[in-house]
Amino acid sequence: MGTGWREGPLFGFELREYLLVRWGRACVYCGVKGVPLQIDHLRARSRGGTDRLSNLVLACAPCNSSKGGRPVAEFLVGRPELAARLLALAKAPLRDAAVMNSTRYALCARLGQSGVPVSGWSGGRTSANRARFGLRKSHVSDALCVGESPPGDRIVRRAAVVLLVGCTGRGSYRRTTPDRFGFPRPTRPRRKQFHGYATGDLVRATVPRGKHRGRYVGRVSVRSKGTFALAHASGRIDVHHSQLVLLQRGDGYRYDWGRDPAGG
Ligand SMILES: [Zn+2]
């Protein structure tokens, strides 16, 4: 972590939360719980210990003051196994839920120092909100229930139509496509745009005649010859680039208005 990272307004709070999660809300030396815990340097600063998270533990006031600046092994001289376990634990990576929680606290601490208001929120609090508003679990209802409730405890109404955003990517870096034996076929074109369009662009097509006569809105897959594949709401047709009007450049995402797919 860089210099100055400890100066954010939330840092003290987030650091304490991080250490409480990491050390199980107990004094690492005597195991006492439910008392105020102090941040202790495993290796004292007077002995070259750093402020890095891996050097910080939580200790009750009596343990902290009796340890003083002594090395852990000396303070815990009668309990060498505990000393060894602490030193090993401090270096060990965090696991599972602890990783998630601690990463969240560390991330909040880092973001908080940028000056932007940052707050953390847990899945449990989201689920409590969802229950309060009587919503079923879905990405949309979670999005409505994350964070502090509006003042006055307004009821969140389920949105009838929501904007659904999906990832489509921006194409491929591959310059060849293998044939069915795995040998590369002639290289793909180096350009992405043909006749002013790139794959993924949102267009409106007006087809004047033929089987597919009509107007369509959808995303194109471009081909060098000028006849593109257009994926619209109910199928896929071939269109000529001269029949198209660009509505939006492809940006790697798909946008659709629709019902919450998981909602009731
Ligand atoms: Zn203690």
How far does residue 61's CA lie from ligand 1's centre (Å)?
7
Alpha carbon distance 178, 186 (integer Å): 9
| Mean pLDDT confidence for 143-172 | 72
How far does residue 83's CA lie from ligand 1's centre (Å)?
14
Domain check: are 73 and 21 in the same one? yes
How far does residue 84's CA lie from ligand 1's centre (Å)?
17
Domain check: are 19 and 66 in the same one? yes
Q: Within the chain, where are the H helices?
A: 11-22, 61-67, 72-75, 80-91, 96-112, 123-133, 139-145
Specify the pTM.
0.45
Contact 23, 57 (CB under 8 A): yes
Domain check: are 148 and 202 in the same one? no
The answer to the question of residue 102 being in a domain is no
How far does residue 23's CA lie from ligand 1's centre (Å)?
12
How far does residue 38's CA lie from ligand 1's centre (Å)?
10
Task: Say what the pLDDT of residue 213 is.
Answer: 93
Q: Residue 70 sits in which domain range?
A: 4-90
Number of compact structural domains in the chain: 3
How far does residue 234's CA lie from ligand 1's centre (Å)?
68
The answer to the question of residue 86 being in a domain is yes
Domain check: are 66 and 153 in the same one? no
Alpha carbon distance 196, 152 (integer Å): 52
The answer to the question of residue 34 being in a domain is yes
Alpha carbon distance 108, 118 (integer Å): 6
Domain check: are 153 and 172 in the same one? no
Domain check: are 258 and 179 in the same one? yes
The answer to the question of residue 203 being in a domain is yes
Domain check: are 133 and 172 in the same one? no
The answer to the question of residue 83 being in a domain is yes
The answer to the question of residue 13 being in a domain is yes
| Mean pLDDT confidence for 109-133 | 77
Percent of the chain with pLDDT over 70: 84
Q: Percent helix, strand, coil in the chain (nearest 5)? A: 30, 25, 45
Distance of CA 224 to the CA centre of its chain: 38
What CATH number is attached to the domain comprising 189? 2.30.30
pLDDT class of 11 with cuts at 50, 70, 90: low
How far does residue 41's CA lie from ligand 1's centre (Å)?
14
The answer to the question of residue 9 being in a domain is yes
Domain check: are 241 and 210 in the same one? yes
Cα separation values, 178 from 174, 186, 192, Å: 10, 9, 19
pLDDT tens, 77-106?
Answer: 999 999 998 888 777 765 655 666 777 778
How far does residue 170's CA lie from ligand 1's centre (Å)?
56
Domain check: are 115 and 205 in the same one? no
Alpha carbon distance 99, 53 (integer Å): 13
Other C-beta atoms lying within 10 Å of the C-beta of residue 109: 24
